[in-house]
Chains A and B, each alone.
Chain A
Amino acid sequence: MQANTFSLEEIRKDFPVLDRRVRDDKKLVYLDNAATTQKPIQVINAITDYYKNHNSNIHRAVHALAEESTEAFEVTRDKVAKFLNIQNREEIIFVKGTTEAINLVAYAWGRDNVQKGDIIVTTEYEHHSNIVPWQLLRDETGAKLEYIDIDENGELKLEQLDEYLATGNVKLVAISHVSNVLGTITDIQKVIQKCKDAGAKTLVDGAQAVPHMKVDITNLGCDFYAFSAHKMLGPTGVGVLWAHKELLENMRPFQGGGDMIREVHKHETTWNDLPYKFEAGTPNVADVICFSAAIDYLTDIGMDTVRNHEIDLTKYALEKMSKVKGLTIYGPKDPQKASGVISFNFNDVHPHDVATIIDKNGVAIRSGHHCAQVLMEKLNVAATNRASFYIYTTKGEVDTLIDSLEQVAEVFKL
């Protein structure tokens, strides 16, 4: 669609940090994009502009700055709606990240809708943020928490979902759109349809999906969707919870405070309209506003272009990495089935040693359990290395990663 408008060289010019030299004057090779992405100058300028020229609290005062700030804040909401094909802007709640979004649902929806004997289903490849809130809710309500296992390709055994749903007791299926460790893309449409047929609600953790592929929330038909701005060129401290209006209207508030109220009296309070009912206190105004610039940036490139670039890179990386002796890759080997994330181990070298050695070369990867200890247990490893790509990643950087592994082999005499 956006073919030929994509120039990697031009894009890289927009990211000042990519010019950094690190350690012993090595060129930075940033391959930790699943943790957080770098920010283009447009986003950096937006935040500076906001604090220089517009800074004000929002939704209350009538002065000029307050009006400008309020408008800019609400413009981001409209941009999120358009970006993800959301019909009702009031269904978009700004939170501080995916973690807060999921906790909001566990607290404000879960406590009133999940009871003893009910089942919450999640998966073995969830981030801790989509496991622990449900463990807390389970402990509070006496519900059961069940897991969909993964197979040897790192894909979900969806027949297990059928078994859970057949009990008739599943209240919620909380599931990643894309695994943060394996990159596996969940067959989310299928999961949602199965849940709908069985009368179970669905919460989709889209933290690793929205930044990397076109997501159409109306078309998906899930009940809750959560993601974070900082993994898609935006600032830290901003996330979005989307949910159906009817659900949000019937949920109790998450936090009490300013902005979420209509009237407060000594002994009773009425709630503000959506989305403000769930946005208590002064929100992260500056970062929500500069998130607009990130959405514009990705819209200009086009999400299909982003996705195609990552498929191309992942294909290249998998081909090269599969030739490296002693390298074990976890997750799908088909780039069409995964986002630009490759988890691997190198011989028996602990990932922290791998990451420390290649860091001397300026190569930044993540090593550890990636907030997915349930998955690490399943894979029977203490930790993995994870290289993750984004729109500014080049094949040359993938080469540097692979060349650096030779130094690991040298140090460990492999």
Chain B
Amino acid sequence: MSGDPIYTEMIIEYSRNPSNFGKLENPQISRHDSNPLCGDSIDLYLNIEDKKISDVKFDGKGCAICMACSSVLTEMIKGKDLDEVKKFEKDELLAELGLEHLIKTSPVRIKCALLSLKALKYGIYSYFAEKMNDVESAGNLKDEAANLY
């Protein structure tokens, strides 16, 4: 199966040992999301200090792609400024794991890959709206989340 472009060493490794896996106690932001067709189901927890993501964790059940992408996403956004995170695009995440091709080749599996990013965008959109009074960013994030896949 060496020719399989999805199940790389990195994805298998992350699915076996996900990063930032677990719960945050009393997180400022928590967001649940699921893929009704395949059964991936995750919770994303975020804490924010000085407009930065001070801590992030996720837990739940999912396939290897979902686990790997959630791991990488949390690694990529941890410590980042919210203004950077709000601009975070799906291509960056997919490229990190070599999964850009999924957009074209697997409309079903792309949902597994982007579930945590969807949860992130929905999670911080309400934070922008309520805590930062940044209606424009909130609106953009909500649209992006809704149209992610």
Q: Which residues of A contact B6 (CB under 8 A)?
A: 356
Chain A interface residues (CB < 8 Å from chain B): 349-353, 356-357, 360, 367-369, 376, 382-383, 407, 410-413
A376 and B106 CA atoms in complex are apart in Å by: 25
In the complex, the answer to whether B39 meets A383 with C-beta atoms within 8 Å is yes
Chain B interface residues (CB < 8 Å from chain A): 1, 4, 6-7, 12, 15, 37-41, 61-66, 106, 109, 112
Chain A residue nearest to B12 in the complex (CB): A412
In the complex, the answer to whether B64 meets A350 with C-beta atoms within 8 Å is yes
Could you say which of A349, A356, A368, A407 contacts B39, with CB atoms under 8 Å apart? A368
In the complex, the answer to whether A357 meets B7 with C-beta atoms within 8 Å is yes
A407 and B61 CA atoms in complex are apart in Å by: 23
Known: A352-B109, A357-B4. A382 touches B39 (CB 8 A): yes
- Helix, strand, loop or mixed for chain B's interface? loop
CB A381 to nearest CB in B, in angstroms, measures: 9
In the complex, the answer to whether A357 meets B1 with C-beta atoms within 8 Å is yes
Identify 11 new A-B residue pairs, CB closer than 8 A, beyond the known A353-B7, A356-B106.
Answer: A349-B64, A350-B62, A350-B66, A351-B39, A352-B39, A352-B40, A353-B64, A356-B6, A376-B39, A407-B1, A411-B7
Q: Which residues of A contact B38 (CB under 8 A)?
A: 352, 367-368, 383
Q: Which residues of B contact A357 (CB under 8 A)?
A: 1, 4, 7
Could you say which of B1, B12, B41, B63 contacts A352, with CB atoms under 8 Å apart? B63
In the complex, the answer to whether A353 meets B65 with C-beta atoms within 8 Å is yes
Cross-chain pairs A/B with CB under 8 angstroms, 29 sampled: A349-B64, A350-B61, A350-B62, A350-B63, A350-B64, A351-B39, A352-B38, A352-B39, A352-B40, A352-B65, A352-B112, A353-B63, A353-B64, A356-B106, A357-B1, A357-B4, A357-B7, A360-B1, A367-B38, A368-B38, A382-B40, A382-B41, A383-B38, A411-B1, A411-B4, A411-B7, A411-B12, A412-B15, A413-B12
Q: Which residues of A contact B37 (CB under 8 A)?
A: 368
A385 and B147 CA atoms in complex are apart in Å by: 29
